[in-house]
A and B are shown apart, each in its own frame.
Chain A
Amino acid sequence: MVREVLVYPAPGLKAVAAPLSAIDGVAAGLAADMIDTLRSFPGCVGLAAPQIGVALRAVVFDLSGHRKARSCHGLVVLFNPELVLAEGSEVMREGCLSLPDLTANVRRATDIVVRGLSRDGEEIVIHADAFEARVILHEMDHLDGYLFLDRVASLKHDLFQRKVYR
Chain B
Amino acid sequence: MPHFALTAIGEDQPGIVSAVTEPLARLGCNLEDSSSCILRGHFAVMLILAAPAGLEAAGIAAEISRYTDPLGVIVTVRPLREEAVTASAAPSHLLSVYGADRPGIVHGVTQLLFDRGINITELNTRLVGRAQAPVYAMLMELALPAGTGSAELEADLRELAGRLAVDVSLRPLDAEAL
Chain A residues near B38 (CB-CB < 8 A): 162
| B133 interfacial contact with A, CB 8 Å | yes
Q: When each residue 117-146 of chain B gets 1 if its CB lies under 8 Å from chain A and 0 otherwise, what string results?
A: 000001010101110010101011100000
Structural contact, B126 and A8, CB atoms closer than 8 A: no
Given A100-B129, A152-B96, verify A9-B135 contact (CB < 8 Å): yes
Q: In chain B between 148 and 178, which residues have their CB closer than 8 angstroms to a CB of chain A? A: 167, 169, 173-174, 176
- Within residues 11 to 58 of chain A, which ones have a CB less than 8 A from any CB in chain B? 14
Whether the pair A102, B128 counts as a contact (CB closer than 8 A) is yes
Judged by a CB distance under 8 angstroms, whether B41 is at the interface is yes
B174 touches A9 (CB 8 A): no
**B174 contacts which of A8, A91, A99, A150 (Cβ < 8 Å)?**
A91
Q: How far is the CA of A24 from the CA of B167 in the complex (A)?
A: 35
Contact A163 B174 (CB under 8 A): no
Q: Which residues of A contact B133 (CB under 8 A)?
A: 7, 9
Q: Which of A68-117 contact B (CB under 8 A)?
A: 91, 99-102, 104, 107
Would A7 and B130 count as touching, CB distance under 8 A?
A: yes
A156 within 8 A of B: yes
Given contacts A8-B98, A100-B129, contact A154 B173 (CB under 8 A): yes
Please tell me which one of the listed residues A8, A14, A156 contacts residue B129 in the complex, with CB atoms under 8 A apart.
A8
Of B41, B98, B122, B140, the residue contacting A165 (CB under 8 A) is B41
Q: Mark B99-126, 1 if CB is under 8 A from A, else 0.
A: 1100000000000000000000010101
Classify the secondary structure of A's interface with B: loop
Instruction: Give the CA-CA distance A105 to B82 in the complex, in Å.
Output: 35
**B:2-45 near A, CB below 8 Å:** 38, 40-41
The CA of A86 and the CA of B160, in the complex, are separated in Å by 33
* Neighbouring B residues of A107 by C-beta, 8 Å: 174
Q: Please determine whether A154 and B167 come into contact, CB atoms closer than 8 angstroms.
A: no
Q: How far is the CB of B129 from chain A (nearest CB, A)?
A: 6
Q: Which residues of B contact A154 (CB under 8 A)?
A: 94, 141, 173-174, 176
Minimal beta-carbon separation of B106 from chain A (angstroms): 16
User: Which of A9, A104, A163 sits near B100, CB closer than 8 Å?
Assistant: A9
CA distance A68 to B128 in the complex (A): 27
Given known A-B contacts A107-B174, A152-B94, A154-B94, A14 and B167 have beta carbons under 8 A apart: yes
